[in-house]
């Protein structure tokens, strides 16, 4: 069976994968309510599309925040609900993701822009990588139903998919997704060429497939002799669209395409990769200049594998790819495979405990990604054209336990401390960067190892607001400071006007007094009345806010006019 020769994504409308409670469930219910009654062009419920997009995002392990955003991605654009509603319900992070997705969707592309500029526009308008990943999932879902679009839009949509989104997926190391998107788009962009190619290639495919399967036992035996137990050996057919592009370069001469069907050997370790290569080269003569070591020098998108082309059985040309299981998974999933650490991090933050991914290789990978533009590869001219860097504004630092923390450029140890835990931030008194004491406003650099020094019962300083970069740190610092000032205000004795009155004791007097304060809109904070021993004279004490001096005079005049009043005096107490 050929792998990858059919589109691997089945229609997934099941909601069984959605947890019974929690964020994803809430997002699902919100989306269900928002899209209720809406249908897509083919007549299926609109919600199906949202579930499908979220399922892809879930399969790529992008974390529950991204999954929730995927469920909500069309709410702002297509329903009466606004971004404010989403922010109120799900918080700023998800609202920002949805906002980014809405902006991409409603983006006005320049009329005559080429695909290169469009890719740049798309990338530069995206601040959070997850926005692009959810967008790719959206594209994948929409491409599956692209048939239902009107002909004009269909072609344009397919073209965008092949020229903007598929290269983007490739760029992110998501080879499989990239190939899927291209192959889905191909028949709509070049219908005639597609027909020709599929017809032309069909016989070649099955012929070469049979051949590849014939050599598998020979390879297996040879590997065994070298004490290598492969995880799997299978054959992979070249994708149609990439084959088409290759044929354009080779005068449409199929016989010059050696990797129409390639044999893929998956082994356990890197050592075994090279050992297997040695075994293959002993078995069959390698074709000169066709060996590529993408393990020692990975492709800029992170792809790792050994490629060689040999004259195999019956002297026929066969391409062979050798990689580890881990490489294979990463080659398929790309950045999504590496994005998992984000999920660990954010859930750790929520659970108020800290567990991180302890793998420096991820760090290297992220760095590699951030260096795309510097390592332009001549095989891949898109790289050169891509001058926008996703990670331009981000730095990646480490905890002493090698957990990776990503922060905006310019972030300080205080930002780092709050990212780990609000208590660590509040109690932060100093920081060690790479083992040396550093000022709290030190500008952290990628690869710095940061250790926060804390003391119990410490408070953030107002001064920190001057230099912190993350809104998370700002929010926590302000919260603590506000809490403090509220406490101080309470303790402060606010000046009060104390008014004493004496009069003949009679019913209703107290009411008349309070009425005067009320009419003058002076707030009473304390009220007491006394009757003397003989019951003849009554005195009243009123404490109130302090009005302006002339209003105090007015107040005195009005109080004196109350019948039976003997005496009124006042003082301002502190």
To Mn ion, the closest distance from the beta carbon of 138 in angstroms equals 4
To Mn ion, the closest distance from the beta carbon of 81 in angstroms equals 15
Cβ atoms of 188 and 241 closer than 8 Å:
no
Q: Give 74 or 182: the residue with its C-beta nearer to Mn ion.
A: 74
Q: Give 74 or 319: the residue with its C-beta nearer to Mn ion.
A: 74
Q: Give 74 or 448: the residue with its C-beta nearer to Mn ion.
A: 74
Q: Give 74 or 415: the residue with its C-beta nearer to Mn ion.
A: 74
Smallest CA-to-CA distance from 151 within 184, 193, 191 is with 191
Q: Is 66 exposed, middle or buried (0-12, 13-18, 19+ CB in 10 A)?
A: buried
Spatial separation of the C-alpha atoms in residues 433 and 399, rounded to whole Å: 10
H or E stretch covering 540: strand 537-544
Spatial separation of the C-alpha atoms in residues 357 and 402, rounded to whole Å: 8
Q: What share of the chain is helix, strand, coil (3-state, %, to 5)?
A: 50, 15, 30
Which pair of structure tokens corresponds to residue 301? 């998108």
Site size toward Mn ion, by CB under 5 A = 2
Would you call 77 a catalytic residue per the annotation? yes
To Mn ion, the closest distance from the beta carbon of 453 in angstroms equals 47
Cβ atoms of 313 and 211 closer than 8 Å:
yes
To Mn ion, the closest distance from the beta carbon of 74 in angstroms equals 4
Q: Give 50 or 516: the residue with its C-beta nearer to Mn ion.
A: 50
Could you give the dihedral angle defined by the CA atoms of residues 551, 554, 560 and 563, in that order, rounded to the nearest 10 degrees?
-110
Cβ atoms of 160 and 118 closer than 8 Å:
yes
Q: Which residue has the tokens 């490629």?
A: 307
**CA 63 to each of CA 1, 67, 134: distance values in angstroms, whole numbers, following the listed order:** 33, 6, 11
How many helices and strands in the chain, by DSSP H and E? 23, 15
Those residues with Cβ within 8 angstroms of residue 455's Cβ, 6 or more apart along the chain or in another chain: 427, 429
Q: Give residues 461-500 in contact with Mn ion (rule: CB under 5 A).
A: none
74 binds Mn ion (CB under 5 A): yes
Q: What are phi and psi of 363, to 5 degrees?
A: -55, -45
CA 330 to chain centroid, in Å, comes to: 19
To Mn ion, the closest distance from the beta carbon of 261 in angstroms equals 35
Spatial separation of the C-alpha atoms in residues 417 and 450, rounded to whole Å: 9
Stretch touching Mn ion by CB under 5 A, among 26-34, 67-75, 211-219, 535-543? 67-75
Cβ atoms of 173 and 301 closer than 8 Å:
yes
Which pair of structure tokens corresponds to residue 524? 């009473």
Spatial separation of the C-alpha atoms in residues 2 and 422, rounded to whole Å: 52
To Mn ion, the closest distance from the beta carbon of 349 in angstroms equals 28
Smallest CA-to-CA distance from 423 within 398, 451, 452, 401 is with 452
Q: Give 126 or 308: the residue with its C-beta nearer to Mn ion.
A: 126
To Mn ion, the closest distance from the beta carbon of 196 in angstroms equals 33
Cβ atoms of 182 and 241 closer than 8 Å:
yes
Q: Give 142 or 178: the residue with its C-beta nearer to Mn ion.
A: 142
Q: Which of 29, 77, 114, 210 is catalytic?
A: 77
Stretch touching Mn ion by CB under 5 A, among 66-74, 223-231, 395-403, 553-561? 66-74
Stretch touching Mn ion by CB under 5 A, among 73-81, 121-129, 341-349, 538-546? 73-81
Q: Give 35 or 419: the residue with its C-beta nearer to Mn ion.
A: 35
Would you call 78 a catalytic residue per the annotation? yes
To Mn ion, the closest distance from the beta carbon of 84 in angstroms equals 20
Which pair of structure tokens corresponds to residue 505? 């004791």
Spatial separation of the C-alpha atoms in residues 382 and 214, rounded to whole Å: 38
Stretch touching Mn ion by CB under 5 A, among 15-23, 68-76, 371-379, 474-482? 68-76
Smallest CA-to-CA distance from 167 within 128, 235, 209, 120 is with 120
| Secondary structure letter of residue 12 according to DSSP | -
To Mn ion, the closest distance from the beta carbon of 187 in angstroms equals 22
Stretch touching Mn ion by CB under 5 A, among 70-78, 119-127, 229-237, 502-510? 70-78
Q: Give 104 or 369: the residue with its C-beta nearer to Mn ion.
A: 104
Q: Give 73 or 570: the residue with its C-beta nearer to Mn ion.
A: 73
Q: Which of 5, 32, 44, 78 is catalytic?
A: 78
52 binds Mn ion (CB under 5 A): no
Spatial separation of the C-alpha atoms in residues 136 and 166, rounded to whole Å: 8
Q: Give residues 110-169 in contact with Mn ion (rule: CB under 5 A).
A: 138
To Mn ion, the closest distance from the beta carbon of 163 in angstroms equals 19
Residues that bind Mn ion (CB under 5 A): 74, 138
Q: What amino acid positions are annotated as catalytic residues?
A: 77-78
């Amino acid at each position: 069976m050929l792998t990858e020769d059919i589109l691997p994504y089945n229609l997934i409308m099941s909601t069984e994968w959605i947890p019974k409670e929690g964020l994803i469930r809430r997002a699902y219910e919100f989306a269900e309510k928002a899209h209720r009654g809406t249908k897509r062009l083919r007549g299926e419920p609109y919600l199906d599309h949202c579930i499908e997009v979220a399922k892809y995002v879930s399969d790529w392990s992008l974390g529950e925040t991204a999954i929730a955003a995927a469920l909500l991605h069309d709410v702002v654009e297509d329903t009466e609900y606004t971004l404010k509603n989403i922010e109120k319900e799900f918080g700023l992070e998800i609202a920002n993701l949805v906002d980014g997705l809405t902006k991409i969707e409603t983006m006005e592309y320049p009329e005559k822009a080429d695909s290169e500029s469009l890719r740049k526009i798309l990338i530069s308008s995206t601040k959070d990588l997850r926005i692009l990943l959810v967008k790719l999932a959206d594209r994948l879902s929409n491409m599956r139903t692209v048939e239902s679009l009107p002909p004009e839009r269909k072609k344009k949509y397919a073209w965008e998919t092949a020229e903007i989104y598929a290269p983007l997926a490739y760029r992110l190391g998501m080879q499989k997704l990239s190939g899927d998107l291209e192959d889905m788009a191909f028949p709509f962009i070049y219908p005639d060429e597609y027909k020709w190619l599929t017809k032309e290639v069909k016989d070649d495919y099955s012929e070469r497939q049979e051949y590849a399967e014939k050599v598998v036992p020979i390879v297996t035996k040879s590997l065994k002799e070298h004490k290598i137990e492969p995880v799997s050996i299978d054959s992979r057919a070249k994708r149609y669209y990439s084959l088409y592009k290759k044929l354009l370069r080779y005068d449409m001469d199929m016989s010059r395409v050696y990797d129409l069907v390639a044999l893929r050997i998956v082994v356990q370790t890197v050592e075994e990769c090279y050992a297997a290569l040695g075994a293959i080269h002993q078995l069959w003569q390698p074709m000169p200049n066709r060996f590529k070591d993408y393990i020692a020098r990975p492709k800029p998108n992170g792809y790792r594998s050994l490629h060689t082309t040999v004259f195999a059985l019956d002297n026929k040309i066969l391409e062979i790819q050798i990689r580890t299981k881990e490489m294979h998974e990463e080659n398929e999933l790309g950045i999504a495979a590496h994005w998992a650490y984000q999920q660990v991090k954010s859930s750790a933050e929520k659970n108020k405990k800290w567990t991180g991914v302890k793998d420096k290789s991820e760090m290297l990978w992220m760095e590699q990604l951030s260096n795309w533009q510097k390592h332009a590869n001549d095989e891949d001219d898109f790289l050169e054209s891509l001058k926008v860097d996703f990670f331009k504004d981000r730095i990646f630092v480490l905890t002493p336990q090698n957990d990776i923390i990503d922060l905006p450029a310019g972030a300080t140890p205080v930002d780092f401390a709050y990212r780990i835990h609000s208590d660590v931030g509040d109690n932060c008194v100093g920081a060690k960067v790479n083992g040396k004491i550093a000022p709290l406003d030190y500008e952290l650099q990628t690869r710095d190892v940061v250790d926060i020094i804390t003391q119990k019962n410490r408070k953030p300083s107002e001064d920190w607001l001057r230099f912190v970069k993350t809104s998370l740190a700002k929010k926590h610092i302000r919260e603590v400071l506000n809490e403090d000032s509220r406490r101080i205000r309470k303790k402060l004795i606010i000046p009060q006007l104390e008014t004493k009155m004496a009069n003949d004791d009679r019913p209703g007097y107290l009411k008349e007094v309070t009425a005067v304060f009320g009419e003058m809109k002076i707030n009473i904070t304390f009220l007491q009345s006394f009757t003397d021993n003989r019951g003849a004279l009554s005195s009243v004490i009123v404490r109130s806010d302090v009005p302006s001096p002339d209003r105090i005079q007015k107040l005195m005049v009005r109080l004196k006019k109350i019948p039976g009043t003997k005496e009124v005096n006042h003082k301002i107490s502190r």
